[in-house]
Amino acid sequence: MRKGFFILLLILSLNFHYGWTQSNLLNAKVPQEVGIQEDENSSPVAYGYVDDRDILWQKTIWEIINLNERINFPYYYPTINNGFLSESRKSLFRVLYDNIKEGNITEIYSSSYFNDNEKLTFEDLGEKLMMRNLSPEGIEKSNAGEEVTDNDYNEFTIESDKIEQYLIKGTWYFDKRLGELKYRLFGIAPVAPDVSSLSESKKEQKDALVPLFWVWFPDARESLANNKVFNSKNSSQPITFDHMLNSRRFNATIYKEENVYEDREVREYIYEDALRQLLESEKIKSLIRDFEQDMWSN
């Protein structure tokens, strides 16, 4: 009897929680009411204050998030922004792009060092994301002296489905006041084939991957906190992009660390050997991870 009561209580609590978190799904009288909720905005994950004197050790690293890995799929899908799934469900690229366009994200740069002379505007992204050139038929008409119309042009655009990777820049640091190793993310960049290669074969596109732009992560946190990621384990509990990235819910490979050799990449001193490059990446990761253990074992 007692066991049955607890099971009933659990079912009722789950149903209540499900109804509350599914954005009016169970209470909607017409389809247009699904997704409407009173408080759609979430706050970014709060950072505690860290005094420079409390940082005993730190190291800045650059990593690649490969979107072909299943664990990283939440950052890739949905690839088509047609609103059929949900008006609130967007890929990470679409969230960044839309908020840059709306002026919510302004700190965008051409490199991960975020220098003032490398700052970009939304208009600057046009040549990186879109290209328009004459089709073969248009070239023939132009050579023959015939009038060329808009229909004789091919247009190529970088959309969510073209994003292959994300590059991230962050710092691991040891907080001596808390006595623990922590991570802080500072930059993120979507990586896609160069727009000029979209008319080429898939292999040529793979060989032409470039970071489209770098976003200063603190400036994007408010926008990322207002957009949810689909939770495949429990669709009633979506997670914000800000929470996902800050909690490092992704798999990434280190491709560069700050060093005396002008921050050279791993591939610059280990040539054409993917296995050794991966082992070097794991070595850097182990040195960072072991630092905290070494602090307590000495």
Measuring CA to CA, how many Å separate 98 from each of 56, 80, 106, 114, 190? 39, 14, 12, 21, 14
Tens of pLDDT, residue by residue over 96-133, are 999 999 999 999 999 999 999 999 999 999 888 988 87
Residue 59, SS3? strand
Q: How far is CA 106 from the centre of its chain?
A: 17
Asked, for residue 153, whether it belongs to a domain, the answer is: no
pLDDT interval class at 82 (50, 70, 90): low
DSSP for residue 97:
H
Percent of the chain at pLDDT > 90 equals 52
Asked, for residue 178, whether it belongs to a domain, the answer is: yes
Asked, for residue 232, whether it belongs to a domain, the answer is: yes
Distance, CA of 129 to CA of 54 (rounded, Å): 42
- 226 in Cβ contact with 241 (< 8 Å): no
pLDDT attached to residue 16:
36
Distance, CA of 112 to CA of 128 (rounded, Å): 16
| Mean pLDDT of the 68-74 span | 94
Distance, CA of 288 to CA of 292 (rounded, Å): 8
Is the pLDDT at 26 greater than 70? The verdict is no
- 180 in Cβ contact with 292 (< 8 Å): yes
pLDDT interval class at 84 (50, 70, 90): low
Helices 92-102 and 217-225, axial angle in degrees (round to 10)? 100
Question: Which residues lie closer than 8 Å to 42 by C-beta, 6 or more apart?
Answer: 225, 226, 240, 242
For the full predicted model, state whether its pTM sits above 0.85: no
pLDDT interval class at 24 (50, 70, 90): low
Buried b (16+ CB within 10 A) or exposed e, 126-136: eebbebeeeee
Asked, for residue 290, whether it belongs to a domain, the answer is: yes
For all residues of the chain together, what is the average pLDDT? 83
Distance, CA of 120 to CA of 214 (rounded, Å): 9
pLDDT interval class at 195 (50, 70, 90): confident
Asked, for residue 38, whether it belongs to a domain, the answer is: no
DSSP for residue 293:
H
Distance, CA of 3 to CA of 8 (rounded, Å): 9
pLDDT attached to residue 14:
42
DSSP for residue 47:
P
Distance, CA of 210 to CA of 208 (rounded, Å): 6
Percent of the chain at pLDDT > 70 equals 83
Cβ burial, residue 293 (10 Å; 0-12/13-18/19+): exposed
Residue 63, SS3? strand
Which residues span the domain enclosing 191?
Answer: 47-119+162-297
Which tokens sit at 76? Answer: 């890739």
Asked, for residue 157, whether it belongs to a domain, the answer is: no
**Total domains present in the chain:** 1
Q: How far is CA 21 from the centre of its chain?
A: 24
Instruction: Compute the half-sphere exposure of residue 268: CA atoms within 13 Å on the CB side of its CA.
Output: 9
| Mean pLDDT of the 81-88 span | 59
Asked, for residue 275, whether it belongs to a domain, the answer is: yes
DSSP for residue 236:
T
pLDDT interval class at 204 (50, 70, 90): confident
DSSP string, 144-171: TTPPP-GGGEEEEE--GGG--EEEEEEE
Tens of pLDDT, residue by residue over 33-66, are 565 554 455 788 889 888 999 999 999 999 999 9
Asked, for residue 78, whether it belongs to a domain, the answer is: yes
Amino acid residing at 241: F
pLDDT interval class at 27 (50, 70, 90): low
pLDDT interval class at 19 (50, 70, 90): very low
- 69 in Cβ contact with 251 (< 8 Å): yes
pLDDT attached to residue 15:
42
